[in-house]
Amino acid sequence: MSTTKSLAYVRKEMLDQQPAPRSQVGFTRWARDNLFSGWFNTVLTLVSLFVIYKVLAATLPWIFGGVWNADSLAQCRVIMNEAYGNTHHACWAVIHERWNQLLYGFYPETQYWRANLAFVLMLASLAPVLFDKVPRKMLYLTMAFPFLLVWLVWGGTIWGVTSVAFGFALGGIAFKLVDRFGSMALSAIAAVAVAAVWWLFIGPSVVEGLNSVAPLGHLEEVQSRDLGGFMICVIIGISGIALSLPIGIVLALGRQSDLFIVKTICVGFIEFIRGVPLITLLFTASLLLNYFLPPGTTFDLTLRVIIMVTLFSSAYMAEVIRGGLAALPKGQYEAADALGLDYWKAQRLIIMPQALKISIPGIVNTFIGLFKDTTLVMFIGIYDMLGLSNAIRANAAWNGIYWELFIFIGGVFWICCFAMSRYSQWLERKLRTDHR
C-alpha cells in the first residue's frame, strides 16, 4: 500500500464524444471480421467461394441458355443441338406454350379478363389492410371484394352474391339490436340465426325471382372444376389466410376462457384438427361431406376445400396466438382491468394488438405453410399448378419434361412466400415501439 499517493481524484472537465478509429469501421473491417479472421476462416471462405463458382457455372448456362420457342420437347432438343451441339439446356418453351393454362387452369379463354380483373381488385383491396398509409375509404372495397370475387370468377347474376351479402348485413343489424340488452352471447346467437334463416329459406327464392325478372350483370357461369393453375392457389390461399386469422383469434381466446364448455370445445377442436393430416381433411371435403349434407344440396367443391383449409390453419393460428397471449405480462391485463375496460374492449385495444404483434413471425409462418399446402388439392382432382404439370406431361409433346415445370412452379411459390416474409419483417420493424 502506497501512502504517498492520495486516493482523491476530481475530473476537471467532461470529455466530448470522439469518432471511432478508421480501421474499426467500413467494409474492410467487416471483411476482416467476418471473412478472413484467422487462417481457418480464410480457408473456409476460399473453399466456399470455389463451391459457389462451381454451382453457378453449372446452372447459369442451363437456365439462361434455355429455349423459349418450341412446340414440343423434341423440337426443343433439335434447336439446342443446332445451337450448342448438346441438349444440356432448359426447355422453357413449355412454360411459354402453356402459360395461360398454368395461370388459369381450364378457365374459358374468352373470360380471362374476369380473372385478371379479380386479381387486380384483390391487390387493391389488400392494400389498405397491409399498409396504413393507403386511404381508409378503400376498406369498403375490401369488404365488398369477397362478393365481387365470387361473382367475377364463377359468374351468374349479381343477385346470388348480393343475397349472401344481405344475409351478413341482416346478421349485423340483428347483432346491434339485441346488443342493447347487454348480452354478447345472445346477440351473437341472434345474428347467426337471422342470417341463417335468410340464407337457407328466404334468400334462395328471392334470388330466383330477381333472376327471372331482372338478370342484372349476368356473366357466363364457370364451374369449379374448370378453375385451376395459379388462380386456384391464390383463391384458396388468400381466402384461407383471410379467414383463418379471425377464427384463430377466437379459438385462442376460447382456449383461455373461464367458461368450461367454451374452453372444452375450443381445445377439442384445436387438438382434433392439429392431429389429423390436411390431406385427410381434403379427402373428407371432396368425398365424405356430401354424405353428411341433406340430399339435394350442392355444395361447391372449391368452397368445401376453402373451409377445410381454413379450419386446418386456424387451429395452428390459435396456438400461435396463444403463444403471443402467454408472452404478455400479466400487468397489461391488470392495467386494462383497473381502468374499467370490459373484457372485449381490453382484448381489442390492449391485449390483441400486442399479442398479435408478438406473434407476427408465427402467424406469417402459418400463412406461408397454408399457401404452399394449396398444392395438395391436386390429390382431390383440382388442377392446381402441380396437377397441371402432370397433365402437361401426359401430352405426347411434353412427355418427359420435369425440371423446367417444377422450377417454374417452385419459383412462383417462392416469390409469393418471400414477399410475405419480407412484408412481415417490415411490419415488425414498423410496429416496434418498445425500444428495447
Partner 1 sequence: MSQAVERQIDRSNMTVSDEVAIQITNMNKWYGEFHVLRDINLTVNRGERIVIAGPSGSGKSTMIRCINRLEEHQQGKIIVDGTELTSDLKNIDKIRSEVGMCFQHFNLFPHLTILENCTLAPMWVRKTPKREAEEIAMHFLEKVKIPDQAHKYPGMLSGGQQQRVAIARSLCMKPRIMLFDEPTSALDPEMIKEVLDTMIELAEEGMTMLCVTHEMGFARQVANRVIFMDQGQIVEQNEPEEFFNNPKSERTKLFLSQILGH
- Shortest reach from residue 331's CB to partner 1, in Å: 4
CB of 335 to partner 1, least distance (A): 4
With respect to partner 1, which residue has the nearer C-beta, 346 or 380?
Answer: 346
Closer of 36 and 333 to partner 1 (Cβ): 333
CB-based burial, 20-39: b 16+ in 10 Å, e otherwise? eeeeeeeeeeeeeeeeeeee
Cα distance between residue 359 and residue 394, in whole Å: 44
If the CB atoms of residues 208 and 337 are measured against partner 1, the closer one turns out to be 337
Q: Could you tell me the three cell numbers for 405?
A: 415445370
Min dist CB 322 to partner 1, Å, is: 19
Strand, helix or coil for residue 2? coil
DSSP state string for 247-262? HHHHHHHHHH-S-HHH
As measured in angstroms, the least distance from the Cβ of 343 to partner 1 is 9
The single-letter code of the amino acid at 191 is A
- Kindly state the smallest distance separating residue 9's Cβ from partner 1, in Å: 23
Q: Are 161 and 150 in contact (CB under 8 A)?
A: yes
CB of 333 to partner 1, least distance (A): 9
Least distance (Å) between residue 352 CB and partner 1: 10
For residue 361, the minimal CB distance to partner 1 (Å) is 17
Query: Residues near 193 by Cβ (< 8 Å), separated by ≥ 6?
Result: 174
- Residue 424 and residue 361 in contact, taking contact as beta carbons nearer than 8 Å: yes
Question: Shortest gap between Cβ of 225 and partner 1 (angstroms)?
Answer: 47
Question: Which CB, 82 or 434, lies closer to partner 1?
Answer: 434
Q: Bridge-partner residues for 91, per DSSP? A: 67
Between 54 and 348, CB nearer to partner 1: 348
Select 54 or 430, whichever has its Cβ closest to partner 1. 430
Q: Which is nearer to partner 1, 259 or 349 (CB)?
A: 349
Give the CA count within 13 Å in the CB-facing half-sphere of 20: 5
Question: What CA–CA distance (Å, rounded) separates 296 from 201?
Answer: 15
Q: Which residue has the cell 349472401?
A: 164
Cα separation, 352 vs 315, whole angstroms: 17
Residue 93: CB atoms within 10 A of its CB come to 23
For partner 1, the closer of residues 239 and 347 by Cβ is 347
> Which among 338, 320, 329, 349 has a CA at the least distance from the CA of 424?
320
Cell of 220: 357466363
Give the nearer residue to partner 1 in terms of CB position, either 29 or 357.
357
How many Cβ atoms from other residues are within 10 Å of residue 225's Cβ?
Answer: 13
- How far is 382 from 227, CA to CA, in rounded Å? 8
Binding site for partner 1 (CB under 8 A): 329, 331-332, 334-335, 337-342, 345, 349-350, 353-354, 357, 431, 433-436
Report whether 94 contacts 398 (CB < 8 A): yes
